[in-house]
Structures are given as structure tokens and as C-alpha cells.
Amino acid sequence: MANRLKMAEIQAIQTLRLRGWSRRRIARELGIDRETVGRYADLAESKPANPPPGSGAENQPNPPPGSEGENQPNLPAGSDVQNQPNPPPGGCGPPSACEPFRDIILEALEQGLSGQRIWQELRSDHEFRGGYDSVKRFVRRLNAATPLPFRRMECEPGAEAQIDFGVGAPVIIPEGEPLPVGVKTRRRNTHVFRIVLSHSRKAYSEAVYRQTTEEFIRCLENAFHHFGGVPATLVIDNLKAAVTKADWFDPEIHPKLRSFCAHYGTVVLPTRPATPRHKGKVERGVDYVQENALKGRQFGSLCDENRYLLEWETQTADTRIHGTTRKQVKRCFEEVDRPALSPLPAERFPFFHESQRKVNRDGHVEVDKAYYSVPAEYLGHVVWARWDGRTVRIFNHRFEQIAYHARHEPGQFSSQPGHIPERKRSGIEKGTAWLLSKASLIGPQSARWSEQMLAQRGIEGVRVLMGLLSLSKQHPCDRIEEACEVALSHGEYHLRTIRKLIQQHGDRQEQFEFIEEHPIIRSLSDYGDLVHTAFQKEP
């Protein structure tokens, strides 16, 4: 059976439970599954150990510390029996060949050496003749029988900050708002970044969609500016955004994070792999923000969630009396921790990506799936784009900055008015006031008709007003004025009426008066004499 325990482990569980230890603590100390601990702890609570009749110990469920006996359970480090010789499994059999080297093995275990390494050093340095299996069994019994207590590490002010990620509250995109590119549902899960100053327990929280290196650095930078200073060391686990290769002795830190730490004058110290207790302060801090601030909540956007987290930190988390330090977090931070932090540098970390981009036909360049405008003269050209977590800058081939934008979400456009050519800006973009000012240049009747037409027809009249202005390119202004005056008198506010009135004015023919005589035109009598003379000569 997978969960079958040895008698020594069962006795240790029952003894520790009767001494008031919680099941969680027993499971953690002995390295046993909590459900298995609960099953044997229930037996200890419901039926106390029955000593043999006549032993005189029927009424003593717990033998006094330091008592001897072959059924004495294996207690954790710190008990009076931890240095007693380790009995062989089952209480019988010869002692282990490793027993004479107990102190050497215990010292090696404290240094974190493996069983293989201990066996090698015993053979090379202490003339040990036993096999590796013997050392492995002895080490296993030592770990189960004499677990060492955890050592609590307290830090000086400004010396350390611990960092971790947890599960954030979901973001539900409201109905009617477009979904970002690549997002298929309106529910988006988030991660909550949490950093805790180890001395005062002052913390900062921020929700993000992804645990990327850029997001991690941006959250760290925001936290430093929230604290007003920089701690000397940063304790993190081996998350991929920060550690490229986990190693307790010589970890490989992400190059961008290393440059960031050099800029702010701090150092990253990853914990031992799979050892979360090395950053226990932030582990509990993440549980605190998840249970107290975010549990059962949802938000309409990431900005709303971060705005709430900042308010919760200042009004709830900072004002509490911490359970371990027994001090108010805010007061301890302001009086002790903040003065010990290193000052912030003059500028933020210049963290950016850089790449060449070709300007599209719409005058925009694509950067991280968002689109940013450039001046019209660079249409079709190749430009340089530099972007970080906050801004996007565009440079020409001489590395002269030609555009500057705030960072946008994927799928969104950032278009600056100065980058749109005047001929490509419609009248609607310029506004109703601009259109009315242009109509007044045609004449007062056109201005009156335009104002009353907009009052009657509302927003749909904007296009009608643009149509009236286009007529000024085809017809004289006086004809448009006459048409607007007639339309006003009849209360007609349609563009087709203005067009018909202008057309009717053009169809009327003007009457000309013919003059009978002119100095350069011969009189009719002269033409008559000429015809008469011609007929006489013909015969």
C-alpha cells in the first residue's frame, strides 16, 4: 500500500498530535501526506495508547521526555531523545554500520549534501566499508526520526524584499466592448504580483495578464517607486521570467533583469528549487491578498483591479497590526524601513525592445500586435521602433525621433492628429463649428439655412451641410444664396431642394434686345440695292 507507514512514524504522529501539534505542522515536519497524518491522528485522539497491563503507565498517554524504552517514538529535533541511538527497523537486528559515523552524517545533512555524496566522503575520508544502500537507509531514518526545526530568519531594515506571484481576480470584459486580438472569451484570468519588505511587511500588489520578463520588471519598478526606495536584495523563486537556469549555488539570471538590478543597485537571490519556505513572508503575503482582497471579486478591466489593489494596500494592509511583528505595518515602514532603503536613480530603467518596421499604407507601423502612426512622408519607408512597457518611439534611418506614443493593448490603434494629411481629414472630423464657419463664407442666407437645418435634423444634418459646401465648387455663390433664401421661406431643409432650385435658375433663358442699326453694320437698304444690281447684270 502506498501510504503504509512504519511503526516509528505512526508513533511519532500520534505522540506529536497528543502534544497539541496541528496536522499540517506534523505533515510538514515529518514529510508525510496530510490525509495520512489525519487518519493516524484520529486514532490517537479517539483511542489513547494502551500500555501493557501492570506496567503502571495506563494513565500516562505521553511518556515523559527523556524516558527510555524500546517503543519510544522518534521525536523531532529538540526533544530529549533525539540523540539516543537509532533503533533498527522493527526494534530488532544488528545496529547499522553507519552508527559510528552518526555525527559526521548529521553535519553533512545540515550542509544539504545528498546520500550519494555522503557515502562517497565516508569511503574516501573515513574508511567506511559499508555500501551505498546502508547509508541511504540510515539517512532516511535520520530524516524521519530527527527532523531539524526550521530557522526563522529576520532581516535588518531595507535589507530584503521577497517576491512571488499568485492567482488574481478575473477580468470580465463588458458586453459591447471589442475583444483584444487573440482573446476569444470575455473572461480573462490574471496573476497578482506581490512584493513584501521583510522587516516591516510593507507590500505592493499589481495584477498582470502574463508573467513575462517585461511585466515582471515593470511591476518591480512600480513597487520601488511606490516604496520610495530600493531594498538591498530581492528574494524570488525560480520563475522563468527571471531565472533562465535554476541552481542554488550559481543560478543564471535573465540578462534584462540583471541589467535592471544594476540600474537600481540591488541583487536578485533565487531560492533553492522547490523550497518555498525560503520566502515564507511573501508566501503568506500572497495568501493574504488572495483571501482578503481578491477572493470572490471580479473587475471590468485590469486598470480597475490595480486601482482597487492600491487602495486596499494603503487602507487595509498598511493599517493592520501584523501577527508576527506585533506592529502596525505603515508606522514600522515609515519610521524604520523606508529610511533604510537605497535612493531611487534619477531615471527609470531604459528597458526596451528594438526592431525595424515598414510603414503600412495606412501610415502605421505594427509593434507587438498594436499599431502606431508616423508622419505621412514616411509612407512605405523602413523605420526603427523602440518600445518598452510604457512607450513606443519611432526613429528614421538617421535615428531621429519622428513619433512618440503611449503603449497600447494588442489590436488597438494610436493615431496622432498631426500624422493625418489635411486632404485625408473629413469635415466630420473637423467638427460642426468648422462646417458652419465655411457655410457663412457663401453668404448670410446659406449660414441661416445651415443653422436651422442642423437644429431640425440633428446629427444627420452634418452630411447635408457638407453637401451644401460641395455645391460651392460647382455653382456661383449668389445662386446658392437665392436657393437657400427660397428654401428658408418654405421651411425646406433637404439638400435635394437646394439642388432643384439651383437647376431651375439655370434653365431660364435670358432675353436679349436686338438693335436696328450699328456703325459697323450695313443697313438693309444697302443689301437691297446690292441684290437689285446683281439681277440687272445677269441678263
pLDDT tens profile 432-460: 787 788 888 888 888 888 888 888 888 87
Q: What's the pLDDT score for residue 89?
A: 44
- Phi/psi region, residue 48 (left: phi>0; alpha: psi -120 to 50; beta: rest), is beta
**Highest mean pLDDT (candidates 29-33, 101-105, 350-354):** 101-105
- DSSP state, 515? P
Return the SS3 of 247. Answer: coil
Lowest-pLDDT choice from 106-115, 239-248, 299-308, 419-428: 419-428
- Residue 463, C-alpha cell as written in the block: 452630411
Report whether 203 contacts 195 (CB < 8 A). Answer: yes
pLDDT exceeds cutoff 80 at 311: yes
> Can you say how many angstroms the Cα of residue 122 is from the centroid of all Cα atoms in its chain?
51
Does the pTM surpass 0.75? The reply is: no
Cα separation, 136 vs 134, in Å, equals 5
384 vs 66, which has greater pLDDT?
384
Domains parsed from the chain with CATH numbers: 7-54+71-145 (no CATH), 160-340 (3.30.420.10), 353-424 (2.40.50), 427-507 (no CATH)
Report whether 204 contacts 232 (CB < 8 A). Answer: no
Q: What's the pLDDT score for residue 129?
A: 84
Q: Which of 415, 409, 367 is nearest to 173 (CA)?
A: 409
423 vs 223, which has greater pLDDT?
223
Beta strand pairing status for 203-208 and 191-197? antiparallel
498: CB partners within 8 A, 6+ apart:
449, 468, 471, 480, 483, 484, 487
Report whether 387 contacts 357 (CB < 8 A). Answer: no
Start-to-end CA span in the chain (Å): 151
